[in-house]
Amino acid sequence: MKHRLFESLPIRAVRRFLDAQGPNWATIIAWNLFFALFPMIFLVITVVGLALHDPSTRTTVVQQVFAAFPSCRSHQANGGSCQIVTALDDFRKSTGIFAIISILGLVWSGASLFSAIENGLNSLFPCKSRDFIPQKVMAIGMVVIFVVMTLPLVVSGSVLSLLQSIPGLPGFLHGGVAGLLLQVGLGIVDATVLFGVIYFVVPHRKQHIRDIVGGAIAAGVLFELLTLVFPLYFRLVTNSPQWGQTFGLVFVLLFYVFLLSQIIMLGGSINAEVGLGCANCEAQGVKGGGLDGAGVRDDPGIRSAAG
């Protein structure tokens, strides 16, 4: 019984995660992911600014802001200004600048991010990483795919509010347990697809879809749980002073990307246990070596190929 437990897939995946220095690779991925968040935010600002050029869209957005933040409505009614609406107007005027910053920053930081993810996932199988140029081409392509696939993931987080705006829809679908299950289910599906693309494209090895399904589902479920817990931060800092809120936001973002990176590596560990086979590796017979690349460095075939 004990032997069967230790040879189960989750335990083997955790052992592989630890043996390949998964926590250290996750830290490197988290560092790159943290810096990639800022150009992503600029990209969202660019999209919002472009949408606000349409007067009807701007009116709808302002009404939604007033509905979500009654204090903004009262400030506006008393002749004052709402900081959120003012910021949105500034975004609309500076769309071009934000677009340039977001695109250049996202390409640069995103390429570094997916290069780090590749190196981390390759250490789990293990396989030799791509050469510099092919790796950057893959990483830039993944940046584009990542941006496109992140949009439905963000939308799934607000599905309940979207359902409330649909007339004639049964009330149980946008409230209570059924509404929560619907939102969580959509979030898991979206996250599973996103992680599945990462696990299928990024590692430098030939694999089949069946090899990455288990890790993608596990990572999708863990990501959705993390997403549900993350908003608790706002309750913790509601009564904090302004400097405490700012520091807390930075700390929680760092902790968030750290946990997300651990999820990426854990899902990859499951995939490595399910689909591992030396015949599938692009570089045959490569040993696992961790962060210092000892396994790759000590492999005679790679040394002779490198000259």
The per-residue pLDDT string of the chain (307 residues; one tens digit each, 9 = 90 and over) reads: 666 777 788 899 999 999 999 999 999 999 999 888 777 666 666 666 666 666 766 676 666 666 555 666 676 677 777 766 776 677 666 666 666 776 777 777 888 899 999 999 999 987 888 998 999 889 888 888 877 776 666 665 555 555 555 566 666 555 667 667 877 888 899 899 999 999 999 999 888 898 899 999 999 999 989 888 876 665 665 455 555 555 666 777 888 899 999 999 999 999 999 886 444 444 443 444 455 445 444 444 333 333 3
Q: Of 220, 199, 195, 189, give the one whose Cα is nearest residue 271.
A: 199
Contact (CB, 8 A) for 247 and 86: no
Token pair in block for residue 191:
């996250």
Environment class of 200 (CB within 10 Å of its CB; exposed 0-12, middle 13-18, buried 19+):
middle
For every residue of 174-189, DSSP letters joined together read GSHHHHHHHHHHHHHH
Token pair in block for residue 97:
């600048």
- The torsion angles phi and psi of 64, rounded to 5 degrees, stand at -65, -40
What lies within 8 Å, CB to CB, of 252 at 6+ separation is 230, 233
CB atoms within 10 A of CB 161: 12
Q: Of 6, 23, 9, 17, give the one whose Cα is nearest residue 275.
A: 9
Q: Of 148, 268, 266, give the one whose Cα is nearest residue 202.
A: 268
Token pair in block for residue 265:
């590596």
Distance CA 151, CA 170 (A): 26
Q: What is the pLDDT of residue 4?
A: 75
Q: What is the pLDDT of residue 103?
A: 73
What lies within 8 Å, CB to CB, of 246 at 6+ separation is none
- CA 15 to centroid of chain Cα atoms: 24
Q: What is the pLDDT of residue 9?
A: 87
Contact (CB, 8 A) for 224 and 187: yes
According to DSSP, residue 204 is labeled: S
CA distances, 201 to each of 138, 146, 172, 224 (Å): 8, 12, 39, 22
- The torsion angles phi and psi of 276, rounded to 5 degrees, stand at -70, 135
Most distant pair of Cα atoms in the chain: their distance: 77
C-alpha dihedral over 101, 144, 56, 86, to 10 degrees?
-30
Gyration radius from the chain CA atoms: 23
Q: What is the pLDDT of residue 266?
A: 96
CA distances, 57 to each of 61, 163, 261 (Å): 6, 19, 36
